[in-house]
Structure 1
Amino acid sequence: MSGQGAPTAEPIDCHDLRVAVVAATWHEVVMDGLIAGAQRALDDHKVEAPVVVRVPGTFELAVVAGALAKEGYDAIVALGVVIRGGTPHFEYVCSAATDGLNRVALDHGVPVGFGVLTCDTEEQALDRAGLDGSAEDKGYEATAAALATAVTLKRIKRHLRG
């Protein structure tokens, strides 16, 4: 199982962070679970008034994440799912989404929580979506990671300013 070895961390107070979630619409049941997991993490970390933006698919996550980064969000969470089919489409979309979201994070200095499921089957996606009976909650995990990284970046900036 891919969740083995995941770090355990208590939620931290992130009430002062501006956070946006950008989520694809394909695979509605899986996406509902990922978004619910992200919302649980936002609540646990005391994020006030997060923004949720929907896009058609996983391919579109990066461009919207980039626009949100330009608007000054402290953390962005990208949620999507790509399920392997019989064509190379899977590899192209997964690669473009990964590269694009990484580029947003590096170009803007804003953490982007990577909540994009890249699965061979729908069953694998459902098992990672944070639904009742799921083994993992990748929406929660991606959100918690983005928030922890945003807090770390704020500490670095404060330290450098003296």
Structure 2
Amino acid sequence: MSGAGAPKVTVDGSGLRVVVVAASWHEQVMDGLLAGARRALAESGADWTEVRVPGSFELPVAAARAAAGGADAVVALGVVIRGGTPHFEYVCSAATTGLTDVSVRTGVPVGFGVLTCDDEAQALDRAGLEGSREDKGAEAAEAAVATAVTFRDLVPAPR
């Protein structure tokens, strides 16, 4: 949702229960992503809680638990920075596929705020920190809330 043509998403998320699941690796980047998500959720009026997991690989199982626990939306935040081994590809693929599966299987929207970057500079530029060009934490929260509002207005969620 970034770059030219990106929509500005503004919705009333009052009454929604959102769970933010956030990885712990790369503290500075994660601080920025969390700040952006918190700001966007506060602006939406949604109620939220936060859960921390060790890394991005653990995000899907935490998102699944949040969805099963009654969350109306989940915001998944993490960062994976390319290194010299195939680890990057495995973790990025597992996180992306796992979070998609949670959303499709449960019908609970998952805002995807997992940065997959070649280097730390790219991550910092997307983290929503002072001087960053993008705020992926806020974008992920806005997308999750907007989708949950659409679902709420469309049809009650199956539980």
TM superposition score category, shorter chain reference: over 0.9
Matched ranges for 1:8-157 at <5 A: 8-9=8-9, 11-48=10-47, 50-157=48-155
Q: TM-score, normalised by structure 2?
A: 0.95
CA–CA distance in structure 1, aligned partners of residues 49 and 113 of structure 2: 16
1:7 corresponds to which residue?
A: 7
Whether the aligned pair in 1 keeps the contact of 2:12 and 2:149 (CA below 8 Å) is no
Question: Post-superposition, which runs of at least 4 consecutive aligned residues in structure 1 deviate over 2 A?
Answer: 2-5
CA–CA distance in structure 1, aligned partners of residues 135 and 84 of structure 2: 27
Give the secondary-structure state (helix, strand or coil) at the position aligned to 1:42. Answer: helix
CA RMSD of aligned residues (A): 0.9
Aligned residue pairs: how many? 155
Give the secondary-structure state (helix, strand or coil) at the position aligned to 1:118. Answer: strand
Structure 2: 5+ residue stretches without partners: none
Deviation at 1:23, TM superposition (A): 0.1
Deviation at 1:114, TM superposition (A): 0.1
Superimposed CA distance per residue, residues 83-103 of structure 1 (whole angstroms, 9 cap, x where no aligned partner): 000110000000000000000
Superimposed CA distance per residue, residues 11-49 of structure 1 (whole angstroms, 9 cap, x where no aligned partner): 22111101000000000000000000000000110113x
Deviation at 1:3, TM superposition (A): 2.3
Give the secondary-structure state (helix, strand or coil) at the position aligned to 1:14. Answer: coil
Question: What one-letter code is carried by the residue in structure 2 that aligns with 1:42?
Answer: L
Structure 1: 5+ residue stretches without partners: none
Identity %: 66
